[in-house]
Structure 1
Amino acid sequence: MAETIYVLGEGGMVIAMDLPLPESIQERLDRGQLRRVHSDGSPYTSAPARTAPAPARGSALTDGAVPRPGARAGKDDWVLWAMATHALPQENAEGMTKAQLQELGEQPEPAAGARPSEDAPKADWIAYVVRQGRMSMEDAEAYTKADLIALVS
């Protein structure tokens, strides 16, 4: 049996239509010339799909970083933060205690010897340049972060 939807026509009349819609009607619906409504003419709203919440993404105020939850935040907030910041799979993050989640660093630890991200603190860049043997710690501290990045690029 075909599913029936209701469409508000251009003249304001509610019309019952079976799916799939004729091509010309579907095109007019896609262009916004017709609108899907409930049988009484009220605006149609579909039920949102029930899925796991997506990890939050930071705003422009936080430069895209997800802010660390406060100490009194619930475990769910800590799970979302760990998923977004540390790229932990949901099952792993949910399997950790709140205390374990709180012990995670502000940013994920780079792999040993890995090049730091461009938004990493200057200290990480100094350590990276020194590990590579490009210069001493004292010399590296005299450079700006931008200079250190340019040096290894």
Structure 2
Amino acid sequence: MAETIHLRGEGGGIHAMDLPLPEPIEERLRKGMLQRVNEDGTPYVEAPAEETEGPTGVGQVPAPGQQVPGLPLTEPAKTANKPEWVGWAVVKGADPEEADGMTKADLIEKYGTPSPT
């Protein structure tokens, strides 16, 4: 039996989803465009790591500087794909939709560590 989680969509509706999530939904969650919530819509709080069951990477949009499973803890490599950079920009405080609308090069320029010259 699959584990069911609840996600708040872009329009504010709460949707029950079975794990594993479809790839497009997982990508939107990783980018911060969707937020994991409890069934009643209250913010979801991840259980401590030793008590967590099931897949990782399903969290909620963090406050700037707050780490949430599924979003990167460290800056992605310059060769990483765009969704990883969008997730990094959200961790750094960017609006998820704004970050998704930027090019990968713009994300690297704005949220990446400058390369030493």
The TM-score normalised by the length of structure 2 is: 0.41
Quick check: which one's helix share is greater? 1
* Greater relative contact order (CA < 8 Å, ≥ 6 in sequence): 2
The TM-score normalised by the length of structure 1 is: 0.32
